[in-house]
């Protein structure tokens, strides 16, 4: 061994120094590009769900106003129906002899069920 090489070896620490070559699976610029791409995809989907949520909120508010209106209309109709039946009974007329009342009675019952449950069909957006 040449004396100059021996001098260099003697100056190295006594432990073995292992030089390793580090190879990256991907370059940092590629990783950054992939991260930015994923971030953009997530933002795009967030915007979609946000728009859908705002649309749902708007439609829900319209639905809520509609259900309140329907409830009021139903109460008025049920009161009118009951008043007619009471008046007919007071006059000694069987309400079952009035065809329109016979048809209206099951519809009123169906509406009663719908109206009682209508406001619970969809959940309020938070």
pLDDT of residue 2: 62
Q: Flag whether the pTM goes above 0.75.
A: no
Does 7 score more than 90 pLDDT? no
pLDDT of residue 4: 66
Give tens-digit pLDDT for 60-78.
999 888 888 888 899 999 9
DSSP 26: S
Give tens-digit pLDDT for 27-72.
888 899 999 999 999 999 999 999 999 999 999 999 888 888 888 8
CA atoms of 115 and 72, how far apart (whole Å): 10
DSSP 12: S
User: Which are the contacts of 116, defined by CB distance < 8 A and separation ≥ 6?
Assistant: none
DSSP string, 91-113: TT--GGGSHHHHHHHHHHHHHHH
Helices 28-90 and 99-118, axial angle in degrees (round to 10):
150
Q: Where are the domains of the chain?
A: 50-126
Count the Cβ atoms, other than its own, within 10 Å of residue 88. 16
Cβ contact 84:95 at 8 Å: yes
CA atoms of 106 and 103, how far apart (whole Å): 6
What separation in angstroms does the CA of 16 have from each of 1, 5, 21, 61? 19, 16, 16, 75
Average pLDDT over residues 93-112: 93
């Amino acid at each position: 061994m040449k004396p100059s090489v021996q001098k260099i070896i003697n100056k190295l620490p006594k432990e073995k120094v292992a030089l390793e070559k580090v190879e990256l699976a991907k370059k940092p610029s590629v990783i950054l590009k992939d991260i930015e791409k994923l971030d953009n995809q997530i933002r795009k989907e967030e915007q979609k769900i946000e728009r859908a949520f705002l649309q749902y909120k708007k439609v829900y508010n319209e639905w809520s106003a509609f259900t309140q209106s329907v409830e009021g209309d139903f109460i008025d109709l049920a009161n009118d129906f009951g008043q007619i039946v009471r008046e007919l009974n007071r006059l000694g007329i069987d309400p079952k002899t009035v065809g329109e009342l016979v048809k209206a009675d099951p519809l009123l019952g169906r509406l009663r069920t719908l109206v009682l449950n209508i406001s619970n069909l969809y959940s309020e957006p938070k």
